[in-house]
Chains A and B, each alone.
Chain A
Amino acid sequence: NAGVTQTPKFQVLKTGQSMTLQCAQDMNHNSMYWYRQDPGMGLRLIYYSASEGTTDKGEVPNGYNVSRLNKREFSLRLESAAPSQTSVYFCASSLGASNTGELFFGEGSRLTVL
């Protein structure tokens, strides 16, 4: 059982380059999330998707876009990367609003923007 799978695990970009982080879950969860984690800090929500076909901004959405491609997949796109976006990105999923809210996380994608 793979759970939540993120790709790539590591990426180095130059300022201004674009890239997409991919996330897929195989638990038939309704809700999916993208977080970033900076050194010594907790996670901050970038975007979330409560259900297939919907996306909403979190705390720190500037510089990012998302696509909920289908129920399984939720991608995060950086259109023009900036050094401030150097971080570890985590995708997570949960069953949905009616449940307890437990999140299942991927292993993270470590992004460096030079």
Chain B
Amino acid sequence: SQQGEEDPQALSIQEGENATMNCSYKTSINNLQWYRQNSGRGLVHLILIRSNEREKHSGRLRVTLDTSKKSSSLLITASRAADTASYFCVLRAGSSYKLIFGSGTRLLVRP
């Protein structure tokens, strides 16, 4: 399968702690994106990292990409209860319109 595989499938942490989610994949990619989905809502784009980039920051988010290991990680620092959601890594291979979604990591941040 080309899809991203997120690890862990579920994560429960205390507010204020950091949350790290990992994504592994098998295909060559153009870019890799992370999306958040609150329960019962649509997905919201968080951050995109291109295949020639190794690290990217956006606010409390830090994404790394290791194309040699075909893996990416999303770090959320100083987590808040509002960060409770599912997080998906999404692969874009070449010029394909067919973005490939992983099955997601369910994050619970306890107040």
Q: Which residues of A contact B (CB under 8 A)?
A: 4, 31, 33, 35, 40-45, 48, 50, 56, 58-59, 90, 92, 97, 100-108
Contact = CB atoms under 8 A, between A and B. Distances in A.
Contacts of B98: 45, 48, 58-59
A103 B101 contact: no
Contact of B44 (A33, A44, A56, A105): A105
A43 B91 CA distance: 12
A43 B104 CA distance: 10
B69 interface: no
B88 A42 contact: yes
Interface string B76-110: 00000000000010101001011101111000000
Given A90-B42, A102-B48, A103-B43, 20 more contacts: A31-B97, A33-B97, A40-B103, A41-B104, A42-B104, A43-B88, A43-B101, A44-B101, A48-B97, A50-B97, A56-B97, A101-B30, A101-B48, A101-B92, A101-B99, A102-B33, A103-B90, A103-B99, A107-B42, A108-B40
